[in-house]
């Protein structure tokens, strides 16, 4: 840790030189360099809100203009023990035993205890502390770096992150666009490991009568793969899902949206067609662009009513220092 | 348990007779009778959504008409270890150790584990399974009864309630009215154990230029006691707060609102001036009228901008079988 | 709840009469009557330690006389995420992220968070609050009754039992006898749902050179079914195991032992050959006789060294109000 | 991370040279060097059991020879919500609601959910993964190093340690010696922050009629400060306790004992008289010598019977990858 170690000046120079010799700037297989070289995000080097900064009052009003009937659509799932839990995650909600009633009004009360991971448990909003990358620093050591150059060393405590926690994410009320890939492909559910292409996305938009140029900064884009039909079949649901890859991720980033979402457990194609990459879409969107990702959604009611553009609302729970949040996303039309 | 015990018919009749002789209908100190005698709620004997049924599309549109600038106001608190926890409640959010980075893109990921009560932990939405009362049944035995006559015997499992769980509460988007009692009283914070009267409520509304008759079914009413200024002083915050009593609770119920909320940990005055009653406002609103209660709010930004009428949004997390939910309530104006 | 309900005297008498008429004393399918009629255990009506009372200093010395080489044998399993968890149980142990080192001695520390059920999670010691039965009381109502007549009404709090908690179980150091049914049957593992008979038990003892009359009050008896060979195959392990039934349970109770144990998840045969009974051995031993039960053991090292009689040690963790404990049982020979 | 970075050979040599120039071997304020220079422990470079290796069959027999009456003494505390919890630790044990009784035998069952830290929660056995130190590696980077040179990088996973977990600690049955400092000092409780000296230790031993040379490898030494009398006064208990410092720690290490223990929350004096050191006794014993530490004990019954030498038993729970364990230590005399 360079802060604790006083290297002679000569040595630092040698290391510095070596660094630039050995480690070229961000290729596909290496993340961006941290420190002074980390490009400022558009919201400044202290920013922790990422693309939720795009939710301006003007954007809220624009979103509301899409809600003309007042009908609310649920876009999330119910949280229950039988939902698909990934890996060794657990979800235990315990209803404690009640003591006797008390007072003249014979009061009885219930309250529960919840013990669970947040990430990948139910409808799941990924915050900016969720995914980062290891980068090589000037001294040859490596660091774990997240959005806006914050490092694990300055973020981590046993009780949560000191930077990029969920308390920094702003309420998201924006224009939502459902990009219904499954319907465009005319199938109920995309096959396992299918990578959705930009061509698919543009085709789906066209089918829905939405022009690419209509996608505006701050919008929320939702990809429907038809995957949520497997929700209560955990094994099938957790198996390699279809999803977007780096091509669509970069298209999304260029659109300067606030967030994406999907009806699978990770939004991106698993495994990535490039076998050397693990969750590169997560890195591209969250770490590099501050764009959020909402997983385990469902769009059944929207599809039934043929709605693809709507007022979208998601209010993440501000758990201080958390990397994600359970949420109840809704659409209004 | 009468269902498991076959009493001779004569005996049942004797018990039945005794029941009506000995136990008159709901007095102050006894809750309503369960079973066939439980008055249907206005939404039918199977209803589990309570007053969230009042959120109609028309109500949503009406609420949106109040949002003219698009500015969002936070009405909740951040969830953190230093928040006031009542009694023996605990809130532990643990950030696990990271393993090494992996794949060519050197991915690193964080996710946390959460172990906590839901009830009384941070900004807290009380569901209908939270508070009930003990009633005497026809056979002389007692039952724990909740909203719409559901009993603990039919609701309780170790993993949550089979009835009245949070999955039944609808998203709430409605007209919100802040009733600023502290400002009406011209003090920063009401004193401990002060019972807010209907006269106080009407005075506060008048001061704000809102007429009592303007309060419409489905609205959400928020009482500001100035108590949230004690938020990070747990001992003072948890001490006996001011709040509404049964007088205001009944006035609220007559207005057929969807929910109330406040900037204290229980919304109601503690202790109740009637020393024999424990949390009677909770019983009156939730158990008898299906009206929800949102605690540990704060109205700082609203007061600063002098806003007392607004579009209000709260989307509870649908934890199946839970009695409450962490939430992030917001106002839009 | 009879305490809260004043029935006219006549009525009580009528009920009392009916009670004795309708409900005969403890048949197979009904548990013993609670209250004044509950037979005192041999340790008095206040006793909460059950058969651990049999561990006298004399018994400890007797046990130690069996340990002549000082070799320790492990009789439990390691607790890990991949162990067989029954039903919806979860076991999460989280190692939190470390902050930076501090002080001149550059201290770093780890500590973990544990979220888990105790019951049926790993090697599991069943306490006396674990299993009870519903009995019909004098007024026709029913109560949940546990060892020594303690009722759920007087025991239950949301934070544990007020009676019969693990803090009352004494350290158990006694003579242990392994009854190796699988070896007696000359098979590696008893088949699913095989009920071990008294004849099997006596045969196994005889094969081991132990006489039935040698079994003394306070001893600990361990049944080996060969089931632990399935330990890391959760599905097979959790499937209907062989075990003792009511015949052996009553034989065990007559021997006045302190506890039994086995290498399956419940020690008793599943399902019980009488299809109307659920876990009757648990009820017979714990509820009626205060005899403890230790599950998910393994006897591999004992078998390897051909040891069937030994000094046995198990020290349950005194979690106040708990119904069980994780333990590390050992034998010394 | 040197494993991921191929430095040119010249560079490595330069760094190597610098390393030895700049960083002398273990001074007070710097921990030992890791890697090839880490001195092997006496049990080999793969050892993870530390000083529990000293519990040989011979040692067990020697311990048993001290138990002549068979009387058992409890040396731990009951685990309950009101116990002193340090910092932001929490201990929640929840008794779930019961469903209805079932089957003809009307079975009812209880089991609880436990959510808690292990470290510093009740009577607490510190494992070897609990405390380490940051050391400077050959490349100038730093590593977190634990007993026997294992590093955080090779140990850490989100679900526990891959090395030095509690599953490696052997059952401890050995000679226990109570060193009653408080009685030697003729006071009920040592004052806050008093550092116990070797002179104190020798004086206490002499008072008890035990010669220093009688302390044998593998013994367990327990220091009584009189601090457990504050147990249910969390604020006073958690305040700076008396305890041993580095002088006694080194004396302890030379004796080659298996473990120490005490009736305070950390066994060592807080703060250390050297203001630059944080928990140096923990580092000295655990990290450097593999000697375990048992905290939050009580010796009331031993003192009452004037027992200072005894058979000692502690069987840690083998939670895989854990850094500590709740335990129920006992003495037999």
Mean pLDDT of B187-212: 98
Say which residue the tokens 């009428």 belong to: B309
Task: Say if strands B72-74 and B330-332 run parallel, antiparallel, or are unpaired.
Answer: antiparallel
Which residues lie below 8 Å from residue A326, measured CB to CB, with a gap of 6+?
A: A79, A118, A121, A122, A123, A124, A125, A317, B317, B319
Asked whether the beta carbons of residue D91 and residue B96 sit closer than 8 angstroms, the reply is no
Q: What percent of chain D has pLDDT over 90?
A: 80
**Statement: residue A7 has pLDDT above 50:** no
Mean pLDDT of A295-305: 98
**Statement: residue C16 has pLDDT above 90:** no
**Statement: residue C228 has pLDDT above 80:** yes
**Statement: residue A48 has pLDDT above 90:** yes
Helical (H) or strand (E) element with D177: strand D172-180
Cβ contacts from A onto B, under 8 A: 307
- Judging contacts by C-beta atoms under 8 Å, the chain C residues touching residue A98 are 156, 158
pLDDT in tens, C99-145: 889 999 999 999 999 999 998 899 999 999 999 999 887 677 788 99
Q: Which two tokens stand for residue D39?
A: 């001195």
**Statement: residue C294 has pLDDT above 70:** yes
* Alpha carbon of B118: minimum distance to chain A alpha carbons (Å): 6
3 state SS of D246: helix
Concatenated DSSP letters of B108-177: EE---EEEEESTTSSSEEE-TTSEEEEEE-TTS-EEEE-GGG-BHHHHEETTEESSS-GGGPPPEEEEEE
pLDDT in tens, D24-41: 223 333 444 444 445 557
Q: Which of A95, A115, A139 lies at the smallest CB-CB distance from D97?
A: A95
Asked whether the beta carbons of residue B1 and residue C142 sit closer than 8 angstroms, the reply is yes
DSSP class of residue D151 equals: B
- Measuring CA to CA, which residue among A134, A169, A179 is closest to residue A152? A134
Q: Which of D96, D97, D142 lies at the smallest CB-CB distance from A4?
A: D142
For residues C83 and C26, which has the higher predicted lDDT (pLDDT)?
C83
The predicted pLDDT at position C38 comes to 60
**What's the ipTM?**
0.90
Mean pLDDT of C56-64: 98
With 0-12 / 13-18 / 19 or more C-beta atoms within 10 angstroms meaning exposed / middle / buried, residue A57 is middle
Lowest-pLDDT range, A85-89, A225-229, A295-299, D146-150? A85-89
C-alpha distance from residue A252 to each of A93, A123, A128, A261, D331 (Å): 37, 21, 17, 11, 67
Say which residue the tokens 């609880």 belong to: D112
- Judging contacts by C-beta atoms under 8 Å, the chain B residues touching residue A301 are none
A66 in reach of chain B (CB within 8 A): no
**Could you tell me if A141 and A281 are in contact, meaning their C-beta atoms sit under 8 angstroms apart?**
no
d(CA C298, CA C310): 15
The predicted pLDDT at position D140 comes to 75
pLDDT mean across residues, chain B: 88
Concatenated DSSP letters of A216-273: -TT-EEEEE-SGGGGTT-HHHHHS---EE-HHHHHHHHHTT-SEEEESSSSSB-SS-S
B95 in reach of chain C (CB within 8 A): yes
The predicted pLDDT at position A142 comes to 84
- Measuring CA to CA, which residue among B269, B253, B267, B173 is closest to residue B224? B267
**Statement: residue C21 has pLDDT above 80:** no
Interface mutation target, options B77, B105, B328, B329, chain A, most CBs of A under 10 Å: B105
pLDDT in tens, A189-239: 999 999 999 999 999 999 999 999 999 999 999 999 999 999 999 999 999
pLDDT mean across residues, chain D: 88
Could you tell me the pLDDT band of residue D136, with boundaries at 50, 70 and 90? confident
Asked whether the beta carbons of residue A81 and residue C88 sit closer than 8 angstroms, the reply is yes
d(CA D96, CA C117): 10
The predicted pLDDT at position C5 comes to 31
* Alpha carbon of C149: minimum distance to chain D alpha carbons (Å): 14
Helical (H) or strand (E) element with D136: strand D131-136
Cα dihedral sign for A145, A149, A154, A157? Answer: negative
Which residues lie below 8 Å from residue D324, measured CB to CB, with a gap of 6+?
A: C111, C112, D118, D119, D124, D125, D126, D127, D130, D166
CA angle centred on A331, ends B93 and B216, rounded to 5°: 95
D142 in reach of chain A (CB within 8 A): yes
Lowest-pLDDT range, A26-30, B284-288, D119-123, D134-138? A26-30
pTM as predicted: 0.89
The predicted pLDDT at position D201 comes to 98
Asked whether the beta carbons of residue A92 and residue C91 sit closer than 8 angstroms, the reply is no
- Judging contacts by C-beta atoms under 8 Å, the chain C residues touching residue B110 are 97
Asked whether the beta carbons of residue C133 and residue D57 sit closer than 8 angstroms, the reply is no
C95 in reach of chain B (CB within 8 A): yes
Asked whether the beta carbons of residue D117 and residue C115 sit closer than 8 angstroms, the reply is no
* Alpha carbon of A306: minimum distance to chain B alpha carbons (Å): 18
- Judging contacts by C-beta atoms under 8 Å, the chain B residues touching residue A160 are 93, 95, 112
- Judging contacts by C-beta atoms under 8 Å, the chain B residues touching residue A330 are 171, 315
Q: Which of B88, B92, B152 lies at the smallest CB-CB distance from D81?
A: B88
Which residues lie below 8 Å from residue B168, measured CB to CB, with a gap of 6+?
A: B48, B49, B128
Asked whether the beta carbons of residue C98 and residue A158 sit closer than 8 angstroms, the reply is yes
- Judging contacts by C-beta atoms under 8 Å, the chain C residues touching residue D285 are none
- Please name the residue of chain A whose CA is at the shortest distance from the CA of residue C103: A4
Mean pLDDT of B269-293: 96
pLDDT mean across residues, chain C: 88
Q: What count of other Cβ atoms lies within 10 Å of the Cβ of residue D86?
A: 16
DSSP class of residue B188 equals: S
Q: Which two tokens stand for residue B204?
A: 């506060």
d(CA A226, CA C116): 35
Cα dihedral sign for C144, C149, C155, C160? Answer: negative
- Judging contacts by C-beta atoms under 8 Å, the chain D residues touching residue B98 are 156, 158
The predicted pLDDT at position A307 comes to 98
d(CA B5, CA D291): 62
Beta bridge partners of B326: B124
First to last CA, chain A: 53
**Statement: residue D18 has pLDDT above 50:** no
Helical (H) or strand (E) element with D254: helix D246-254
Q: Which two tokens stand for residue C36?
A: 């004044």
Could you tell me the pLDDT band of residue A285, with boundaries at 50, 70 and 90? very high
* Alpha carbon of B13: minimum distance to chain A alpha carbons (Å): 27
* Alpha carbon of D249: minimum distance to chain B alpha carbons (Å): 30
The predicted pLDDT at position A237 comes to 97
The predicted pLDDT at position A24 comes to 29
3 state SS of B2: helix
C-alpha distance from residue D289 to each of B69, D30, D254, D274 (Å): 67, 16, 9, 21
**Statement: residue B222 has pLDDT above 90:** yes
Cβ contacts from B onto D, under 8 A: 45
Q: Which two tokens stand for residue B3?
A: 């269902």
Which residues lie below 8 Å from residue C247, measured CB to CB, with a gap of 6+?
A: C195, C197, C198
The predicted pLDDT at position B17 comes to 34
The predicted pLDDT at position C39 comes to 58
Asked whether the beta carbons of residue D113 and residue A98 sit closer than 8 angstroms, the reply is no
- Please name the residue of chain B whose CA is at the shortest distance from the CA of residue A65: B64
**Statement: residue C51 has pLDDT above 80:** yes
Alpha helices in chain A (DSSP H): 9-22, 57-64, 152-155, 181-184, 198-207, 234-238, 246-254, 280-282, 288-289, 300-304
C-alpha distance from residue B180 to each of B184, B222, B262, B293 (Å): 6, 8, 10, 17
- Judging contacts by C-beta atoms under 8 Å, the chain A residues touching residue D110 are 97
- Judging contacts by C-beta atoms under 8 Å, the chain A residues touching residue D157 are none
Give all chains having 3 or more CB-to-CB distances under 8 Å with chain D. Answer: A, B, C
pLDDT in tens, D281-320: 999 999 999 999 999 999 999 999 999 999 999 999 999 9
Mean pLDDT of B93-109: 93
Say which residue the tokens 């009352």 belong to: C168
B91 in reach of chain A (CB within 8 A): no
* Alpha carbon of D207: minimum distance to chain C alpha carbons (Å): 28
**CB < 8 Å from D in window 71-90 of A:** 88
**Could you tell me if B118 and B323 are in contact, meaning their C-beta atoms sit under 8 angstroms apart?**
yes
Give all chains having 3 or more CB-to-CB distances under 8 Å with chain B. Answer: A, C, D
């Amino acid at each position: 840790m360079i802060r604790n170690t006083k290297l002679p000046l000569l040595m630092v120079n040698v290391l510095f030189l070596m660094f630039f010799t050995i480690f070229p700037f961000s290729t596909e297989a290496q993340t961006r360099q941290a420190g002074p070289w980390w490009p400022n995000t558009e919201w400044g080097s202290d920013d922790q809100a990422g693309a939720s900064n795009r939710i301006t009052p003007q954007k809220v009003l624009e979103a509301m203009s899409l809600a003309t009937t007042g009908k609310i659509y649920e876009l999330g799932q119910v949280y229950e023990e039988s939902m698909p839990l990934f890996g060794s995650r657990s979800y235990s909600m315990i209803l404690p035993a009640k003591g006797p009633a008390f007072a003249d009004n014979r009061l009885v009360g219930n309250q529960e205890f919840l013990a669970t991971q947040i990430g990948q448990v139910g409808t799941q909003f990924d915050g900016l502390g969720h995914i980062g990358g290891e980068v090589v620093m000037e001294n040859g050591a490596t660091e774990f770096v997240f959005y806006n150059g914050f490092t694990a060393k300055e973020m981590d405590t046993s009780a949560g992150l000191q930077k990029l926690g969920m308390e920094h994410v702003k309420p998201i009320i924006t224009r939502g666009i459902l990009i219904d890939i499954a319907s465009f492909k005319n199938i109920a559910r995309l096959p396992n490991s299918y990578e959705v292409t930009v061509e698919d996305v543009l085709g789906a938009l066209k089918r829905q009568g939405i022009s690419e140029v209509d996608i505006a900064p701050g919008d929320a884009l939702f990809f429907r793969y038809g995957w949520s039909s497997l929700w209560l079949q955990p094994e099938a649901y957790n198996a390699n899902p279809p999803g977007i890859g780096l091509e669509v991720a970069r298209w999304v980033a260029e659109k300067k949206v606030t967030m994406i979402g999907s009806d699978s457990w990770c939004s991106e194609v698993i495994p990535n067609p490039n076998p050397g990459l693990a969750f590169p879409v997560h890195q591209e969107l969250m770490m590099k662009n501050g764009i959020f990702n909402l997983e385990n959604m469902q769009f059944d009611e929207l599809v039934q009513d043929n709605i693809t553009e709507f007022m979208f609302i998601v209010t993440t729970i501000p758990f201080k220092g958390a990397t994600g949040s359970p949420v109840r996303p809704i659409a209004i039309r």
